Amino acid sequence: MMKAHRSIQAYVESTFASMGIGLSDFAILEVLLHKGPMSMSAIGSTVMLANPSMTAAVARLERQGLVDRTGCDSDRRVRTVRLSREGKRLIQRLFAQHERDLEVLMGDVSPAERAAARTVVKRVGLAAKAKTRGEPGG
């Protein structure tokens, strides 16, 4: 599984590099596209980036005009991140290309095999997450 993960990640990173964006920046923009504005800590846990890496990535995306950060009235420590208009246009274009790239990668995999793989990988991932957290049943 690790070999497959590394190979897929290398492929995805190379396609992102050809689009002029890094993997962590893509992940942040993608989660904001699909989940809407979120706190920095929520984004970090979703895309699995540590706080310092999240702060650097969001600052970089903000400098590029792709995201906006706003403070929370009830808790000054919380910063909400949202896509800017330019950021939304960019990630929609990049995500569409990413989907096409994955279709090329999965070209020889039948729809039934894709569904089965998705189910198994999700189950294994959830079990690993539960084990990591020490949850029962994991």
Whether 49 and 117 share a structural domain:
no
**Three-class SS state of 81:** strand
Shared domain for 26 and 82, answered yes or no, is yes
Residues 48 and 91 in one domain: yes
- Residue 125 lies in domain: 111-138
Tokens of 20: 């002029």
Q: Are 81 and 58 in contact (CB under 8 A)?
A: yes
- CA dihedral in degrees (35, 40, 41, 47; nearest 10)? 60
Q: Strand, coil or helix: what is 52?
A: helix
- Same domain assignment for residues 89 and 118: no
Same domain, 134 and 90: no
Give how far Cα 19 sits from Cα of 13, 23, 44, Å. 10, 11, 23
Tokens of 110: 């039948």
How many domains does one find in the chain? 2
pLDDT at 70: 86
22 and 90 assigned to the same domain: yes
| Structure token pair of residue 42 | 């929520």
pLDDT per residue rounded down to tens, the chain (138 residues): 889 889 988 998 898 888 889 999 999 999 999 999 999 889 999 999 988 899 999 999 999 999 999 877 777 777 899 999 999 999 999 999 999 988 998 999 999 999 999 999 999 989 988 888 877 655
Q: Which helix (H) or strand (E) holds 67?
A: strand 67-71
**pLDDT value, residue 137:** 58
* Pair 63, 128 in one domain: no
Residues 47 and 15 in one domain: yes
Same domain, 13 and 53: yes
Are 69 and 58 within 8 A, CB to CB? Answer: yes
What is the gyration radius of the CA atoms in the chain, in angstroms?
17
Q: What is the CATH number of the domain that holds 16?
A: 1.10.10.10
- CA-CA distance, 7 to 19, in Å (whole number)? 19
Pair 64, 130 in one domain: no
**Statement to judge: residues 55 and 102 lie in one domain:** yes
In this structure, the answer to whether residues 120 and 101 fall within a common structural domain is no
Q: What pLDDT, on the 0 to 100 scale, is given for residue 19?
A: 82
Q: Which pair of tokens denotes residue 129?
A: 């997450």
What pTM was computed for the model? Answer: 0.82
Q: Are 92 and 33 in contact, with CB atoms under 8 Å apart?
A: yes
**Tell me, what's the pLDDT at 38?**
94
